[in-house]
Structure 1
Amino acid sequence: MNAHPKTFLSPERWQGRAYLGDWRVTEAGTIDVADPASGAVIASVGIAGAADIARAAAEARAAQRGWSRTLPTERARILTKAADFLEQNGAELIPWIMRESGSIHPKAAIEIEHGTHFIRHAASLAVAPMGVMIPAMDARTNYAKRVPHGVVGVISPFNFPLVLSIRSIAAALAFGNAVVHKPDPRTPISGGVIIARIFEEAGLPKGVLQVVAGGAEAGEAMCTDPNIAMISFTGSARGGSRVAEIAGKHFKKVQLELGGKNSLIVLEDADLDIAASNCAWGTFMHQGQICMATGLILAQEAIADALADRLAAKARHLPAGDPSTLQVALGPIISDGQVESIQAIVDDAVAKGARLLAGGTHDGRFYAATVLTGVTPGMRAFNEEIFGPVACIAPFATEAEAIEYTNSSDYGLAAGVISADTTRALRIADELDVGMVHVNDQTVNGGPFAPFGGPRKSGNGTRIGGPADIEEFTTWKWISVKDAAAPYPF
């Protein structure tokens, strides 16, 4: 890596360091970053311990007051410049995302595109109206305005490391918050260094953004640090539960976007070739390592077998391997432990009567696109988020049964309904207890303008994106004004 020419992401600038107002060595030392496809070390970065988080939080709080007083138009200008830098350097950054997160090229390109959109949306929020007049009961004037929390702690995962970091960071900064960001230690470049660099070049004041990778110790330190007012967490339900428990004890606002076991309901009148294409995309994109992945394909009984056969045919023609070859549809699973978890769920389904039509095997971390049919309640594949490229097809008889299957899930993030009758599909969509429903589409959908999130194990009632960003990353402040002070009876 030291042989790289001087470029936007030249490792000489950040190798072995973290962005703590500037590129610094951390007290906790460094970690190596490995390509999950080959195991090769591609870089090293500074890692955070509790002391590093404490320093970052204190510096962020010291910088936040000045940033909150910065004119909204200036905050918007800096955000727009950061978006420009991300967009302009996409060709250089995409290979880093591929190597670090095991992404194929199109998925990595989507991260650059969507990341740019999220920053531009945040820039528009910076100059949005932030107050309302309140009716008065006496001669005073009353108004309320949205104000920043102070310092927002952002904790992001490995799977879409750039997008799932930037959507919180950019929105928080837009409203005048400072940010302490902890990307996943497996993807600290895509989820951290890239973001630090674009805001560094855009002229964000020093200290307003602190970026340092870390594990559980760093995450818990963020949840307890008195200088951090809010935690925005994206990750597993187990991790989110822990964050909510610790941060709640310290009276912090918590925004959680967690996992999903997302149902795609395919009705008997659907075009099966198109439905199979939707199922494949929703299930196999990025090896199924997406919170919105199609985790359960609910196929009406009359078409279940035909749909399964079409999907299995597609799965057999989706090669898994090293994304750097540009010849594969699926890259590596992020870790050996996750491969073992996927295999255990597939084996459990087969042992309990499901039929394996494709895949079900792996070569190291390269897990084959897999199709299980005849999946029923009681199988782990029916109930659990797999986070792997496994299509689970479960037949249903009636619309009511499909609705019940979806609503009985522990999760509630996303769902899809495919039907030739849009009115019928919309009727079903209205009955689904999830945060997002996509009619005549699969479940993997996202963007900066819609409120994203769901109930139960998918979140805590919060949302991120669109108008929800104002709700999440600011709080109300009421101000009343009298022309002059007056005496009271006491």
Structure 2
Amino acid sequence: MENYYKNYNKSFINGKWIHGDIDSKKTDILNPYNNEVLTSVTLASLDQIRGAFIIAEEAQKDWAHSSVEERKEMFTKMAEYFQNNKDEMIKVASKETGGTLLKAELEINLTIDVLKETFKYMDALDEVKEIPSSIEGKINRVYRQPLGVISSISPFNFPMNLSMRSIAPAIALGNTVVHKADLQVAMTGGSIIARAFEYAGLPAGVFQSILTRTSEIGDEMMENPVIQLVAFTGSTAVGKHIGEVAGRNLKRVALELGGNNPFIVLEDAEVDKAVDAAIFGKFIHQGQICMCINRIIVHEKLYDAFTKKFIERAKQLPYGDQTNPNTVIGPLINEKQLAKVQEIIEQAKQDGIQLGLEGKRDGNILTPYVFVDVDNNSELAQSELFSPVVSIIKAKTDDHAIELANDTIYGLTSAVFTSDLKKGEAYGLKIDSGMTHVNDQTVNDAANIPFGGNKQSGMGRFGDPWVIDEFTKLKWISVQEKYREFPF
């Protein structure tokens, strides 16, 4: 059984496990439930990061010409490693992220799905498209090539899956990756993935995992001259900065950012089923998922019944140690995040917004808070809460519910509940978000769908086959088989 905390609490550079150069700056990785020290990490330096990019650029020259068979063999072994060590990975992911065992298992399963899906598009580099020419004797061919070196940056909430959905397609399509996980979840978001690639026999330098803080390396993960694309999942504020820096350096980006996701209950919805879905979609992982429900918008005819039943269910959710199989509400990732949410709650109270359910703080745990009769224009309703706090908003009509849903700078995901599926799909198309789910909640992901958001929720799409365009470039080759007469 692998001991990740003891053996892999290091950066993985050029195929070797290496302590960071900044000896004076060790960082403890904590269990957010009780602040237990899981392991300590010595931070990598700016020079180590720069060296990793040089190594990645050199390694990519050979990896770009690897065969589909070679890459499939690697990814088969990767999937094997995840299956063989799944139980231990679930424990690590739960302890590091503060997520329940159910959430951790879901994350590992999604990661394995991403790996398996790569087999369906690895041969994209071998496909050549011929296009007719208006010039006599000319043949046009379009080739697909790897981009080169990819910079990958992932968040704390679903670190393994949100890392792998960039890393796996990038490497499967002939690129190399320098990856920086959020340091709070260094094992789940970085070291476990590096260990799996090491087990699979991936050539040195094709994947490298750097354990450090942004304060030590500045904008190097966006500015380094060899980077061709920056793949980032995280907050909209950081995403804007990455987009600005990358754009200034003419680098491509794939950004999956924040959300203010509406869950809409139309006039003809079945209240009990809508409540079931809303409870899961709001409180999975304590609401710390970009896809989680942020606003519940209910038709006025169902508002009282829905709100009453939702609050009663929220009151009953068990909370505590996330490694207890019965726990639904575990801790927030750290005290800073908890303090931020508490400020939002206090401001909402000062603004006179009514509480239907007042939660409480227990260590780093926050039990559910439900605000009712919320004005959609309020600061509360317009903020991404990333916590077990939710706004319930009353809509006058079904059309009004859609207007309220769209009144936000975000556009990641959404949900519509109705007894008329055709109407639900039609209303879903009216919502300005990258994804809408009819008679389901907002937290859905799969390796074979176009995952991504509109507006300030990001740009680009993950998932097969759309991800192919993100991590490759097109090359036009024309061959003049017959001598061409020129006008001068």
For the aligned pair, the TM-score class normalised by the smaller chain equals over 0.9
SS at match of 1:409: coil
Length-normalised TM-score, structure 2: 0.95
After TM superposition, the structure 1 stretch with the greater mean CA deviation from structure 2, 45-54 or 109-118, is 45-54
SS in 2 for 1:313: helix
- Equivalent residues of 1:60, 1:207 under 8 A apart: yes
- Measure, in 2, the Cα distance between the counterparts of 1:17 and 1:464: 26
Partner of 2:133: 136
Residue 51 of structure 1 pairs with residue 47 of structure 2: yes
- Mean Cα deviation higher: 323-332 or 463-472: 323-332
327-336 or 11-20, which deviates more? 11-20
Q: Does 1:281 align with 2:275?
A: no
Distance 1:353 1:305 in 2: 20
| Cα distance, 1:210 vs structure 2 | 0.6
RMSD across aligned positions (CA): 1.7
8 Å Cα contact 2:4-2:187 kept in structure 1: no
For the 8 Å contact 2:100–2:324, the answer to whether it is kept is no
Deviates more, 1:426-435 or 1:212-221: 212-221
Q: 101, 108, 117: which is aligned to 1:112? A: 108
Shift in Å, 1:479? 0.9
Residue of 464, 474, 477 corresponding to 2:475: 477
Q: Hey, what's the Cα distance between the residues in 1 that align with 2:121 and 2:218?
A: 28
Distance 1:20 1:71 in 2: 21
- Distance in 1 between residues matched to 2:49 and 2:331, nearest whole Å: 31
How far does the alpha carbon of each residue in 1:310-337 deviate from its partner, in whole angstroms, 9 at most, with x for none? 1111111112222123332111111212
Aligned to 1:27: 21
Say which of 158, 168, 171 aligns to 1:170.
168
Deviations for 1:313-371, whole angstroms, at most 9, x for unmatched residues?
Answer: 11111122221233321111112121122122223333334322223321221000221
Q: Compute the displacement of 1:241 (Å).
A: 0.6
Shift of 1:130: 3.4
Residue of structure 2 equivalent to 1:14: 8
For residues 197-252 of structure 1, the C-alpha deviation after alignment (integer angstroms, 9 at most, x for no partner) is: 11110111111001012322436101110111110000000010111111111111
Larger displacement relative to structure 2 (230-239 or 80-89): 80-89
Q: Is the 8 A contact 2:13 2:205 kept in 1?
A: no
Are the equivalent residues in 2 in contact too, given 1:9–1:194 (CA < 8 A)? Answer: no
- Render the CA deviation track for 1:265-292: whole Å, top value 9, x for unaligned: 0012211111111111111000000000
Range that drifts further, 357-366 or 189-198: 357-366
- Aligned counterparts of 1:441 and 1:10: Cα–Cα separation in 2: 36
Aligned to 1:271: 270
Counterparts of 1:36-47 in structure 2, within 5 Å, are 36-47=32-43
Residue 69 of structure 1 aligns to a residue whose secondary structure is coil
Report how far residue 377 of structure 1 moved. 2.5
Deviates more, 1:41-50 or 1:234-243: 41-50
* Cα displacement string for residues 128-178 of structure 1 (whole angstroms, at most 9, x for unaligned residues): 463321211221211112111100000000000100000100010010000
Which residue does 1:206 correspond to in 2? 204
Structure 1 residue 239 corresponds to structure 2 residue 235 = no
After TM superposition, the structure 1 = structure 2 runs for residues 73-152 of structure 1, keeping only pairs within 5 Å, are 73-128=69-124, 130-138=127-135, 139-152=137-150
CA contact (8 A) 1:377 1:383 kept: yes
Q: Given that residues 343 and 360 in structure 1 are in contact (C-alpha distance below 8 angstroms), is that contact kept between their aligned partners in structure 2? A: no
Cα deviation code 1:3-59 (max 9, x no counterpart): xxxx33444432344444211122234422111111111112342332121011110
Stretches of structure 2 lacking an aligned partner (at least 5 in a row): none
Partner of residue 64, structure 1:
60
Can you list the C-alpha shifts for 1:174-203, whole angstroms capped at 9, x where unaligned? Answer: 100000000001111000011001111011
Please report how far the alpha carbon of residue 485 of structure 1 lies from its aligned counterpart in structure 2 after TM superposition. Answer: 7.3
Q: CA–CA distance in 2 between the matches of 1:444 and 1:350?
A: 28
Distance 1:81 1:421 in 2: 46
1:112: Cα distance to partner?
Answer: 0.9
Give the whole-Å Cα distance in 1 for the aligned partners of 2:382 and 2:4: 44
Pairing 1:260-409 to 2, within 5 Å after superposition? 260-409=259-408
Q: Tell me which residue corresponds to 1:435.
A: 434
Q: Is the 8 A contact 1:355 1:372 kept in 2?
A: yes
Change (3 A) 1:28 1:411: same
Q: Which residue of 1 aligns with 2:465?
A: 467
- Alignment CA distance shift 1:359-1:90 (3 Å): farther
Contact 1:20–1:212 at 8 Å: present in 2 too? no
Residue in 2 that maps onto 1:419: 418
Letter in 1 for 2:64: S
Corresponding letter in the other structure for 1:377: N
Following superposition, the deviation at residue 425 of structure 1 comes to 1.0
Report deviation, 1:487.
8.0
Counterpart-to-counterpart distance in 1, 2:145 and 2:226: 17
CA distance in 1, matches of 2:327, 2:9: 30
1:257 maps to amino acid: E
Q: How many residues align?
A: 483
* Higher normalized contact order (CA 8 Å, seq sep 6+, divided by chain length): 2
Residues 1:28 and 1:135: Cα distance change in structure 2 (over 3 Å):
farther
1:252 counterpart residue number: 251
* AA at the equivalent of 2:65: R
What letter is aligned with 2:349?
A: V
TM-score for both structures, normalised by structure 1? 0.95
Give the superposition deviation at 1:484: 7.2
Once residues 44 and 122 of structure 1 are traced to their aligned partners in structure 2, the CA distance between those partners, rounded to angstroms, is: 34
| 1:46–1:67 Cα change, 3 Å | farther
Amino acid at match of 1:104: T
- SS of equivalent to 1:269: coil
Q: Which runs of 5+ in 1 are unaligned?
A: 1-6
When residues 486 and 22 of structure 1 are mapped into structure 2, their CA distance, relative to the original with a 3 A threshold, is farther
Quote the Cα distance in structure 1 between the aligned partners of 2:285 and 2:113. Answer: 20
> Would you say the 8 A contact 1:46–1:212 is kept in 2?
no
